[in-house]
Amino acid sequence: MNSPVRPEQLRGAITDVLESAATWPELPGLCRRLGLDAAPNQTDWNGGGKAKYVRALLEDHGLAELVDLARKVVEQVGSERLEKELAQLGPRGASGEFRNLIFAGTGPKPEMVLDDSVGNYLEITSNAEHWLFYDRPLTSQGLTWRNMLGWWPTTSAFAGIADEVDVSDPAALGHTLYKRLFASLPATSPPAQKLFITYCSRYGRPDGLDQPALIPEVHLHYDPYTRRERGGRGPLNRERMDFLLLLPNRVRIVIEVDGKHHYARQQASPAGQEAWTAAPDLYSVMVAEDRALRLKGYEVYRFGGYELMQPEAEDVLSTFFDRLLADSDVSPPPSTD
């Protein structure tokens, strides 16, 4: 995270806010609500004061943990100072622990059950052969191509081609993974295909294995029923996202490619020509979902399908990804010279 904010600076700001937000009797309870292990009362601190009490609770927190805590403080207590500190951090880290990814579907929707409802562990019980399921812990670097290549040969999807691939050759292994991911992209969306091709050609080479992996067609929410089974729209407006990047410091980037169906409806035309009418309700649903994602800590970036089919699209995408990853403390791609 390329940020002028240092951990000590953020630790001091949180301490000041909590010190002024609660009296001594109230402070332990406030700290517990924020997820801090608070001592039962101030007598354990020998009159050291509220600031000393709070700083002791924060001393082992790194920047990512402090950022999460600062957001909770802003939500529960409010602080313009902390809001300004957070605004300097660039892409924000998402709250909540990573559990799994279900992505790159090439067939019917997966059927799933909660194998452990306490731990929220999922098991795909049907149609698993059409989907990829990543459930390894994330590293400090997020989810990189190196992580993906270590996981890919262990999947059932790879088993059918294992005899044809030299797993010791990153290029050959990566090519099979690329083909499987690309196969999940809608054939009706050349713009999405172009985005994926452009990213992988720049950041998915064998000499760039520590670059973030671009994950297509990710199940963001999951409704066990189809819309047809529900008789129309279900409770979740957006079940899938087009692309996801999991970057260092728990930064989660959603990238959407918008065709006309995102903001307009096709109308019958007497001349048999394609005609579309603007649909404010579709647009409102889309931006409401974006707001909900941002409140959960995701960054959302949208590209118009028309934009990605222009001659300069590859340059636009390369510039965008270079700046995005630089702002997220990701090393630049290896030189192609």
Provide the residue ranges of all domains of the chain, joining segments of one domain with +. Answer: 7-87, 101-326
Q: Which residue has 């805590």 as its token pair?
A: 69
Q: Is residue 191 classed as helix, strand or coil in its secondary structure?
A: helix
CA–CA gap between residue 130 and residue 19 (Å, rounded): 53
Q: Average pLDDT of 254-268?
A: 76
Q: What is residue 226's predicted lDDT score, i.e. its pLDDT?
A: 55
pLDDT, greater one: 300 or 337: 300
Amino acid (one-letter) located at 227: R
Pairing verdict, β 298-304 and 251-258: parallel
What's the pLDDT band for 175 if we cut at 50, 70, 90? Answer: very high
Assess whether pLDDT exceeds 60 at residue 329: yes
Q: What is residue 330's predicted lDDT score, i.e. its pLDDT?
A: 80
Judge contact between 213 and 147, C-beta under 8 A. yes
Both tokens assigned to 165: 């691939």
Judge contact between 314 and 307, C-beta under 8 A. no
Neighbours of 309 (CB within 10 A): 11
Closest CA to 320 of 153, 164, 194: 194
Average pLDDT over the chain, rounded to whole?
82
Radius of gyration of the chain (CA): 23
CA atoms within 13 A on the CB side of 71: 17
